[in-house]
Amino acid sequence: MALKKYKPITAGTRWRIGNAFAEITTDQPEKSLLEKTTSTGGRNAQGRRSMRYMGGGHKKMFRIIDFKRNKKDIPGTVATIEYDPNRTAFIALINYKDGEKRYILAPQGLQVGATILAGDAVAPEVGNALQMKNMPLGTNVHNIEMQPGQGGKLVRSAGTSAQLTNKEERYAVLKMPSGELRKILINCYATVGVVSNGDHNLEMMGKAGRNRWRGIKPRNRGVAMNPVDHPMGGGEGKASGGHPRSRTGKYAKGLKTRQRGKGSDKLIIQRKNGKKLAK
């Protein structure tokens, strides 16, 4: 991925680092794979605000993505690499041999004209989807299922991948992007490769208005509020605050919020902080 640094001809472009979209091949999405989506502005069914700091934003259509990759043993050709306003990764339009078209998450290195395949025992090449039991150790994967046939749930963000480190009788051991070592059922599907748009985290908005276009409103600090509005509000001048916490009083840093005895604990070998879970 290539980044574009803008010349400081305005205040908004002085600090802006944007995406050059070098991989994008078209700006016209496939109409048959679009769905209308509406913005809530953070309001619930009664029209009351239930999420703060949401509202406005540019209109956009939802792209229907094939996370299941259930077109088994039917080759597909990459027609375009496209931008998706609903996610950080790029998407690829696939034309299958039987005439169907589908969007998938585009992995790094996938080129227009390449052929991809999904199946139980296809070659572990970039863009192919197969069961983890048929992948060699060390393979980087994304769009990982948690239950067979469920569709990919894990590792779908730009630039991420998990590494297949070990295989057991029923489980594959994956090193997740967070550093966590986790077991996943070995019959689950995953797509080979690293998710595209890896430099997404290096982009800089340049001005607050670009976040307003995305539907994100300014976020007010708790210490700037009154005591009636926030636990960190009040005080004389800047002599306020204390331990960072939420509006409901939950500590924001350091408090463990994971449910004790959660069912998936037995599938986690090592947490992202390097601590092994007690069995």
Residue 192: how many CB atoms within 10 A of its CB? Answer: 23
Q: Tens digit of pLDDT per residue, the chain (279 long)?
A: 589 999 999 999 999 999 999 999 999 999 999 999 999 999 999 999 999 999 999 999 999 999 999 999 999 999 999 999 999 999 999 999 999 999 999 999 999 999 999 999 899 999 999 999 999 999 999 999 999 999 999 999 999 999 999 999 999 999 999 999 999 999 999 999 999 999 999 999 999 999 999 999 999 999 999 999 999 999 998 888 888 999 999 999 888 888 999 999 999 999 887 777 655
For residue 167, the model assigns a pLDDT of: 96
Taking the C-alpha atoms of residue 197 and residue 134, their distance in angstroms, rounded to an integer, is: 27
For residue 254, the model assigns a pLDDT of: 86
Complete DSSP assignment for 68-105: S---BT--EEEEEEE--TTSSS-EEEEEETTS-EEEEE
- Grouping H, G, I as helix, E, B as strand and the rest as coil, residue 212 is helix
For residue 278, the model assigns a pLDDT of: 55
pTM exceeds 0.85, yes or no = yes
3-200: what fold?
OB fold (Dihydrolipoamide Acetyltransferase, E2P) (2.40.50)
All structural domains of the chain with their residue ranges: 3-200
Phi/psi of residue 211, nearest 5 degrees:
-75, -30
Q: What sign for the dihedral angle of Cα 106, 110, 112, 118?
A: negative
For residue 279, the model assigns a pLDDT of: 56
Taking the C-alpha atoms of residue 74 and residue 162, their distance in angstroms, rounded to an integer, is: 26
